[in-house]
Amino acid sequence: SRVEVETSKHLITSYVLEVLKRCKQYKDNLLSCCLTLILKIPMCIVERIIPELVSPLQISLQMGLSFLPIARICISALKLWTQYLKKENIQSLFPKVLPFLLPYLRSKGFV
């Protein structure tokens, strides 16, 4: 039912926001796993928390310089989000995230 769907969205959103808060305490593999979870959330949740996604995107791109799998996940998420989210919503991310993409644009062989 519609109520169950909305309840599920709310619970998932709350959980993801809690993971976002706790990410600041984590490092290495645990941080990578949490970032992966955040970057792979359903689009209906992404729409609800776009402003909160700046930090995990930045951290993922920084971490990705030495751990390529998280960089690939981050780039894939950005690509997907730019295709499916409203332009005005996704544009708020770009000024804060694009500087973190520069090292990738300058490097050779990133796929």
For the record, the structure tokens of 29 come out as 């593999």
Taking CA 7 as the corner, what is the angle to CA 59 and CA 37, rounded to the nearest 5 degrees?
Answer: 20
User: In angstroms, rounded to a whole number, what is the distance separating the alpha carbons of residues 45 and 14?
Assistant: 10
pLDDT at 88: 87
pLDDT at 90: 86
pLDDT, position 91: 87
pLDDT value of residue 111 = 52
pLDDT on residue 110: 55
What's the chain's average pLDDT? 93
Q: Which residues of 3-28 are buried (b: 16+ CB within 10 A; e: fewer)?
A: eeeeeeeeeebeebeebbeebeeeee
Which segments of 1-111 does DSSP mark as H helices, in order? 2-23, 28-39, 43-46, 54-64, 68-84, 87-90, 94-106
